[in-house]
């Protein structure tokens, strides 16, 4: 089963990713040993049933047309504080939650990647205990598997990254019901729970986002039937 899983991961990894990744990338700042690819393979090897679950999850994403956004194993990363909280670095979400991530991944594929290039997923599903321990809200969309915390593969100046993402969000975020949030550095959050934005105040380096969002809202208001 481990050999089959390795073949599956190799076959389904996005063709534009691993071979072209830089040796060091911005996501390294947010990932500790044990939540990297080597840690993933050790986690799978520790339980014979995990390989089948991982393969099933990946096959589901492929069938939904979103299995080529980021490597499947990255989508199993839990919270960055997993070690502090005594929780696993990786976890396959409950099967009933798998559909929740599809539209989020579709937005990443169709809007995020064209705007900023390839991305790494650094935190996805979090079980309720881990989410609470990591300081997440009781209503966190990570708990319901709607959310992705992402970091661009290639370095960006923070303001430029925010400007690009906010421009895309202002233009198409409502169509996908996407929430967009920014954290420290180049880490950002998207989910497809509802349209909203946070972490874009001037104090948080979000002047570009405020400008992009205001321009979009003004454009909407100027259209016939737009909201003033």
Q: Summarize pLDDT for 148-162 with one digit per residue, the tens.
A: 999 999 999 988 899
Q: Of 17-21, 62-66, 73-77, 210-214, where does mean pLDDT reach its minimum?
A: 17-21
Domain annotation covers residue 228: no
pLDDT at 44 (0 to 100): 97
In a domain, residue 30? The reply is yes
pLDDT tens figures, 78-136: 999 999 999 999 999 999 999 999 999 999 999 999 999 999 999 999 999 999 999 98
Structure tokens at 61: 């994403």
SS3 97: helix
Its domain, for residue 96, covers: 2-222
Number of domains in the chain: 1
CATH code of the domain in which 147 resides: 3.30.1380.10
- Residue 149 resides in a domain: yes
Q: Kindly state whether residue 227 falls inside one of the protein's structural domains.
A: no
Q: Rounded to the nearest 5°, which phi and psi values hold at 147?
A: -110, 150
Average pLDDT over residues 51-63: 98
Please tell me the pTM assigned to this model. Answer: 0.84
Give 112-128 as a DSSP string: IHHHH--EEEEE----H
DSSP reduced 3-state for 221? helix
Find, among 6, 15, 13, the residue nearest to 40 by Cα: 6
**CA gyration radius, the chain:** 18
């Amino acid at each position: 089963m481990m050999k089959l899983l390795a073949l599956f991961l190799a076959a389904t990894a996005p063709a534009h990713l691993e071979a072209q990744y830089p040796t060091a990338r911005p996501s390294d700042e947010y990932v500790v040993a044990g939540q990297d690819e080597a840690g993933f393979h050790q986690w799978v090897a520790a339980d014979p049933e995990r390989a089948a679950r991982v393969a099933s999850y990946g096959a589901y994403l492929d069938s939904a047309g979103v299995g080529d956004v980021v490597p499947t194993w990255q989508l199993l990363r839990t919270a960055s504080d997993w070690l502090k909280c005594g929780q696993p670095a990786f976890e396959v979400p409950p099967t009933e939650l798998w559909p929740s991530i599809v539209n989020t991944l579709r937005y990443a594929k169709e809007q995020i990647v064209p705007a900023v290039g390839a991305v790494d997923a650094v935190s996805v599903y979090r079980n309720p205990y881990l989410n609470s321990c990591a300081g997440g809200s009781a209503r966190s969309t990570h708990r319901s598997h709607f959310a992705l915390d992402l970091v661009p593969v290639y370095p960006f100046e923070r303001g430029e990254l925010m400007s690009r993402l906010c421009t895309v969000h202002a233009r198409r975020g409502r169509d996908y019901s996407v929430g967009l949030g920014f954290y420290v550095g180049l880490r950002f959050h998207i989910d497809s729970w509802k349209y909203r934005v946070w972490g874009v105040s001037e104090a948080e380096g979000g002047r570009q986002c405020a400008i992009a969002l205001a321009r979009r809202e003004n454009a909407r208001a100027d259209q016939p039937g737009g909201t003033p």
